[in-house]
Amino acid sequence: MAGTSQKKLNLKLKVWRQKSNKDQGSFVEINAEGVSEDASFLEMLDQVNESLIKKGDDPIAFDHDCREGICGSCGFMINGNAHGPQKGTTVCQLHMRAFKDGDSIVLEPWRATAFPVIKDLMVNRSAFDRIISAGGFISVDTGNAPDANGLPVPKPDADEAFANATCIGCGACVASCKNASAMLFTSAKVSHLALLPQGQVEKTERVLRMVAQMDSEGFGSCTSTGACSAACPKEIKLTSIARMNRELLAATLNKKEAVEGDGV
Partner 1 sequence: MAVASARSFLLTSIGKKYLMGLTGLIWAGFVFAHMAGNMLIFVGADAYNKYGHFLTSGYFIYVAEAVLVLSLLVHVGCAISLTIENRAARPTRYAVTPNGSKGVTLASMTMAFHGSIILVFIITHLITFKFGTYYETTVDGVVMRDLHRLMIEVFQNPTYVFWYVISLVLLGFHLSHGVGSIFQSLGLRNDRTAPTIQKASCLYGVVVAAGFLSQPIYVFFFAG
Give the whole-angstrom CA distance, residue 67 versus residue 70: 8
Which residue among 92, 114, 173, 195 contacts partner 1 (CB under 8 A)? 114
**Identity of the residue, 55 or 256, whose beta carbon is nearer to partner 1 in the bound complex:** 256
Residue 188 binds partner 1, judged by CB under 8 A = no
Residue 155 binds partner 1, judged by CB under 8 A = no
Which residue among 91, 211, 233, 236 contacts partner 1 (CB under 8 A)? 211
Give the whole-angstrom CA distance, residue 34 versus residue 57: 19
Residue 255 binds partner 1, judged by CB under 8 A = yes
Give the whole-angstrom CA distance, residue 62 versus residue 82: 14
- Cα distances (Å, whole numbers) of residue 17 to 35, 49, 167, 216, 220: 21, 13, 28, 29, 26
Half-sphere exposure (Cβ direction) of 115: Cα atoms closer than 13 Å: 28
**Identity of the residue, 122 or 180, whose beta carbon is nearer to partner 1 in the bound complex:** 180
Which residue among 52, 70, 118, 212 contacts partner 1 (CB under 8 A)? 212
- Cα distances (Å, whole numbers) of residue 201 to 11, 90, 193, 251: 54, 34, 10, 12
Give the whole-angstrom CA distance, residue 55 versus residue 48: 11
Residue 227 binds partner 1, judged by CB under 8 A = yes
Window 6-45: residues binding partner 1 (CB under 8 A)? 14, 27
Which residue among 3, 80, 102, 261 contacts partner 1 (CB under 8 A)? 80
The helix (H) or strand (E) run that includes residue 89 is none
The helix (H) or strand (E) run that includes residue 155 is helix 155-165
**Identity of the residue, 8 or 246, whose beta carbon is nearer to partner 1 in the bound complex:** 246
CA quadruple 79, 83, 247, 166: dihedral, nearest 10: 170
Residue 113 binds partner 1, judged by CB under 8 A = yes
Residue 181 binds partner 1, judged by CB under 8 A = yes
Minimum CB separation from partner 1 for residue 237, in Å? 6
Residue 126 binds partner 1, judged by CB under 8 A = no
Residue 162 binds partner 1, judged by CB under 8 A = no
Which residue among 177, 188, 194, 196 contacts partner 1 (CB under 8 A)? 177
Q: What is the CA radius of gyration of the chain?
A: 21
Which residues of this chain interact with partner 1, rule CB under 8 A? 14, 27, 77, 79-82, 85, 87, 106, 108, 111-114, 176-181, 183, 211-212, 214-215, 218-227, 230-231, 237-239, 241-249, 252, 255, 257
